[in-house]
Amino acid sequence: MSSMEELQREVERLQLENARLKEQLEKAELNEQLAGSRESTDPKPQNNATDKYPLTLEEYHRYGRQMIVEETGGVEGQVKLKNAKVLVIGAGGLGCPLLPYLAGAGVGTIGIVDNDTVDPSNLHRQILHDSYSVGMLKCDSAKRALNRLNPNVNVTTYPVRLDNTNAFQIFEGYNLIMDCTDTPVTRYLINDVAVNLGLTVVSASGVRTEGQLTILNFENMGPCYRCFYPVPPSPNSVSSCQEGGVIGPCIGVLGVMMAVEAMKVILGLYSTDDFEPFLMQYAGFPKQSLRTFRMRRRKEMCAACGTNPTITREAIETSKINYTEFCGSRNYNVCVPEERITVQQFDNEYLKVTSPGCILLDVRPEHHYQISHLPNTYNITVKSLRNMDGSLDELQKHIPSVSKDSDIVVLCRFGNDSQLATRLLKDDFGINNVKDVQGGFFKYIDDIDPSIPKY
């Protein structure tokens, strides 16, 4: 037998061994969980210790370090945490640091809503997931981590995208909502559903190096998200982590701060008499800073929580409130089909052959371009093009050979900005022959040359 065959057999043997051990481990984990939940839900005490005490001995041991902090209210506080039912929407940059602190602190029931799967680009900040959970549902990956951390906690997962038809069903049964989502549409929806159900929302957000944190609709006395933001921001001003980038620990700080607020709400450290609406603003760069701003109270005219609300459960569930329309969306589709080429055409007609006089223009931000780019390309952002006000002289400062008769092919990261740039070059600069590459640089990498780094 050759050594290669031997090695192959050995690999197979180890794979089987691996599968067998995994199965054993899963069974053991399940047993432990069941034992844990029996202890935590069985009304009849199982031993002398629980006769006298409201928590199991294991729980005293596990939560001892926080119970002896006076502010938690000791055992009484711990029981409040155990009885709490917290719904976390989003198991990403905020949810990942938040969830283990909730589970570790002994929050008895945790729901996780997320329909997304783990991608390698999440891992620098979404620290509940790891390289081995890539491709898994985030809510399942998070649940696995939480079960290992604290088997006393009941974790329910909702692998769905929260929308106006399922939100009420999911929210009901929970006492506290954690908004860890990433778009205005979902933030308005969470707010409106929570207001209708009288639920408090701890809400945080962040992008790049900064973050914000607030408590909305506290004990149904407001203010709510709509009191702060009655009019949604223009879609052009909304930046996501994918687009704007984000520093892992900067968004992480916000997730951890959410856990602190959740504990305080559950422990009853805020009351309707002394609750002061606030917004905290964290900046990681250049110097770390944390500010607490005093915010407005409930607005009487608020459409969700004011005296005459129009945003009712019925209006939400029957889609009378159209969240997508309300928040709007950017219109990138500004080019006609003849103005667009596929990455295959781009490769065949412009890259593989030398086309003299043809200008390849990459309109991504310079720090994106520096990560990776195609050879013989110019780099000018859409914003810079716009600032040239259609002046060919200005454009020639960057691309000396450019004229109204030039052949220009524009590309960006995903094929959105390149359309805007194509419009500018044709309409403002009067250059006739401009083409946009559909799907952009990343589509080119995916379909034509996967050896180029993608970020």
Partner 1 sequence: MVKVKVEFLGGLDVVFDKQRTYDLDIPSEGEFTVKDLLDYLVTNMIKNPKDVEMFIEDGTVRPGIITLINDADWELEGELEYVIEDGDIVSFTSTLHGG
Q: Is 335 one of the annotated binding-site residues?
A: no
Name the one range near partner 1 by CB under 8 A: 72-80, 180-188, 308-316, 337-345: 180-188
Q: Is 123 annotated as a binding residue?
A: yes
Do residues 202 and 176 lie in contact, with contact meaning Cβ atoms separated by under 8 Å? yes
Q: Where do runs of H (alpha helix) occur along 68-183?
A: 74-83, 95-105, 138-149, 167-171
Beta strands (DSSP E) in 226-352 are 278-283, 289-294, 340-341
Residues 441 and 413 sit within 8 Å (Cβ to Cβ) = yes
| Cα angle: 145, vertex 147, 151; to 5 degrees | 150
Residues 6+ apart with CB under 8 A from 51: 45
According to CB under 8 A, which residues from 269 to 298 bind partner 1?
279, 281, 283, 291-296
Residues 8-47 within binding reach of partner 1 (CB under 8 A): none
Active-site annotation holds for 335? no
Smaller CB separation from partner 1, 60 or 414? 414
Is 211 a residue that touches partner 1 (CB under 8 A)? yes
Window 214-243: contact mask with partner 1 (x via CB under 8 A): --------------xxxxxxx--xxxxx--
Among the listed residues 241, 250, 327, 335, the single catalytic one is: 241
Task: Tell me which residues in 381-410 interact with partner 1 (CB under 8 A).
Answer: 386-387
Quick one: which segment of 79-87, 154-162, 198-206, 447-455 binds partner 1 (CB under 8 A)? 198-206
Among 40, 153, 41, residue whose Cα is nearest residue 88? 153
> Binding to partner 1 by residue 411, rule CB under 8 A?
no
Q: Pick the closer one to partner 1 by CB: 57 or 290.
A: 290
Q: Which of 351, 339, 336 is nearest to 441 (CA)?
A: 351
Structure tokens, 269: 């450290």
Among candidates 428, 449, 434, which has minimal Cα distance to 358? Answer: 434
Q: Residue 93, interface with partner 1 (CB under 8 A)?
A: yes
Least Å distance, CB 206 to partner 1, is: 5
- Candidates 84, 87, 94, 361; binder of partner 1 (CB under 8 A) is 94
Binding range to partner 1, per CB under 8 A, among 11-19, 43-51, 206-214, 367-375: 206-214
Token representation of residue 386: 């716009």
What is the amino acid identity at position 44?
K
Least CB distance to partner 1 at residue 18 (A): 36
Q: How far apart are CA 321 and CA 415, in angstroms?
A: 31
Please confirm, yes or no, whether 412 is among the known catalytic residues: yes
- Give me the long-range contacts of 425-433 (CB less than 8 A, separation at least 24): 425/385, 426/339, 428/389, 428/390, 429/388, 429/390, 429/391, 429/392, 429/395, 429/404, 430/390, 430/392, 430/404, 431/402, 431/403, 431/404, 431/405, 431/406, 432/404, 432/405, 433/405, 433/406, 433/407, 433/408
Smaller CB separation from partner 1, 120 or 235 = 235
Specify the residue, 225 or 444, whose C-beta has the smaller distance to partner 1. Answer: 225
Whether residue 224 is annotated as binding a ligand: the answer is yes
Contacts with partner 1 by CB under 8 A: the residue count is 46
Q: Which of 180, 302, 321, 412 binds partner 1 (CB under 8 A)?
A: 180
302: annotated binding-site residue? yes
Question: Which residue in the list 139, 250, 327, 412 is annotated as catalytic?
Answer: 412
201 within 8 A of 153, measured Cβ to Cβ: no
Residue closer to partner 1 by CB (options 79, 279) is: 279
Smallest distance from the beta carbon of 241 to partner 1, in angstroms? 4
Token code pair at residue 398: 């960057």
Nearer to partner 1, 256 or 358 (CB): 256
The SS3 call for residue 298 is coil
CA 178/CA 88 separation, integer angstroms: 5
For residue 235, whether the previous peptide bond is cis, meaning omega lies within 30 degrees of 0, is no
CB of 113 to partner 1, least distance (A): 13
Q: Which amino acid is at 378?
A: Y
> What value, to the nearest 5°, has the Cα angle with vertex 41 and ends 40 and 42?
105
- The residues binding partner 1 (CB under 8 A) are 90, 92-95, 179-184, 187, 204-208, 210-212, 228-234, 237-241, 244, 246, 251, 279, 281, 283, 291-296, 386-387
The annotation places the binding site for ATP at 93, 114, 121-125, 138, 182-183
Binding-site residue ranges: 93, 114, 121-125, 138, 182-183, 224, 227, 302, 305
Q: What residues form the annotated binding site for Zn(2+)?
A: 224, 227, 302, 305
Active site residues: 241, 412
